[in-house]
Structure 1
Amino acid sequence: MGNNGPSRRAFLLGAASFGGLALSGCSAMVGNRQITVPNLLPAIISPYYLQIYGAMPEERFPVPAVDLNKVDQRYLRTEVDDPTGEKPGTIVVETSARFLYLVQDNGTAIRYGVGIGRDGFTWSGRGSIGRKAQWPTWYPPASMMQRQPETREFAGGMPGGMNNPLGARAMYIYRNGVDTIYRIHGTREYWSIGKAVSSGCVRLINQDVIDLYSRVSVGTPIIVRG
């Protein structure tokens, strides 16, 4: 999994650091399976999570540490038994559960928490990663500029940076070789993970999107299940 990858042992140690105070969790459908994800009390944070969600000063635009007390613990990056049934190397986004899975070749998957688009701005289907970019330029779609005239200021593009809506990395979803205009991207608003507030894209904590970006390549298949 690499030095930055999650492990079952690390996750269990993280859970143990909560003194065994796992609460009854929420249920969600993943494919045709119902899973229960426990809520963990955030009073004590595992050193493992403090490390992987720590500051990243080496980035072109330094990424600050995540205040983990502002993130629902169920959405932190971890390794789980693969619930998707898809082939290794596939990205699966389960919008109802607010999870993104990267399927591994050992019957497991890396699970990331995501934020998704509001009702009416969501997309689902099969595609692939058609392009990748670090600290990408953001171009507001024409439909967004109609809904939100203030975004017209950036019709020529907003350069990468911490204030850019695409965050530290972006992976562009294509279908049949055509850009769908939907992206997997980062966000500095880590408190929004698990919620539906964006205009259609799948967003991750910047530390998580940097990790995912390092593990996938152009051509990686992606399935978004609405």
Structure 2
Amino acid sequence: MSKLRASGISFLGAIRVSAGLLASAGVCAAIGTTSVAARETVAFPQPYPPGMIIIKQSERRLYFTTGSGTAIRYPIAIGRAGKAWQGEAYVQGKYVEPAWSAPAVVRQDHPNFPAVIPGGSPRNPMGAAALTLSVSEVAIHGTTQSMRKSVGTAASYGCIRMYNEDVVDLFHRAQVGTRVLAIP
């Protein structure tokens, strides 16, 4: 199995896919129907163009602008103190259920993590899908069932965590090249 390293986050056996392949891969079905997506369409009068991702860290919300003064708002987990990323980037890659190996900073705190957590594993912190960013070791991704409670908090090593059902929705909307802005 070849190793793919995207934006400093290690993925093993990850595949870059189109939005149509995500649904055919069964990811939506694997999420189940017992949870309700937390996303909602809201007024968003800021001057950002349609199709842009805005991460408002103080709100712990991600906005995908849709135009006409609206956006789709998703709850997220952001980086813990000293780890939260701010600035501009773009979506560099899109992956369905990527395998994951911990970056060095995570491995320092968790030396007993396995070298690789396979994609689709219930212990894989990347969840159902990941959008890697052009910023080293930062991705917007799903989460494990046990980590769902972290959404709405500052808990990660810099990545943006979403509920799996919400990252799948965003995966369908965002394209490689989509602009991302993280603000306080």
TM tier relative to shorter chain:
0.7 to 0.9
Q: Is residue 115–residue 204 contact of structure 1 (8 Å, CA) maintained in 2?
A: yes
Per-residue CA deviation, residues 11-49 of structure 1 (Å, 9 max, x unaligned), is: xxxxxxxxxxxxxxxxxxxxxxxxxxxxxxxxxxxxxxx
1:220 is aligned, of 171, 178, 183, to: 178
1:190 is aligned, of 148, 152, 161, to: 148
TM-score, length-normalised on structure 1?
Answer: 0.64
Shifted more, 82-91 versus 120-129: the winner is 82-91
TM-score, length-normalised on structure 2?
Answer: 0.78
1:205 is aligned, of 163, 169, 172, to: 163
RMSD: 2.1
1:190, CA displacement in angstroms? Answer: 2.4
The reply on whether 1:167 has 2:127 as its aligned counterpart is yes
Paired with 2:138 and 2:124, the residues of 1 have a C-alpha distance of 16
1:140, CA displacement in angstroms? Answer: 0.7
Q: Is residue 84–residue 92 contact of structure 1 (8 Å, CA) maintained in 2?
A: no
Q: SS of the counterpart of 1:208?
A: helix
1:65, CA displacement in angstroms? Answer: 4.0
Paired with 2:112 and 2:173, the residues of 1 have a C-alpha distance of 35
1:59, CA displacement in angstroms? Answer: 2.6
1:60, CA displacement in angstroms? Answer: 8.1
Count of residues in Structure 1 that have an aligned counterpart in Structure 2:
157
Aligned to 2:5: none
Counterpart amino acid of 1:158? Answer: I
Paired with 2:123 and 2:32, the residues of 1 have a C-alpha distance of 13
1:108 is aligned, of 32, 48, 70, to: 70
Paired with 1:225 and 1:120, the residues of 2 have a C-alpha distance of 14
- Larger relative contact order (Cα-Cα within 8 Å, sequence gap ≥ 6): 2
Aligned to 1:181: 137
Paired with 2:182 and 2:159, the residues of 1 have a C-alpha distance of 11
Aligned to 1:59: 27
> Which of structure 1's runs of 4+ aligned residues deviate more than 3 A?
64-68
Aligned to 1:122: 84
Paired with 2:28 and 2:73, the residues of 1 have a C-alpha distance of 26
Aligned to 2:107: 145
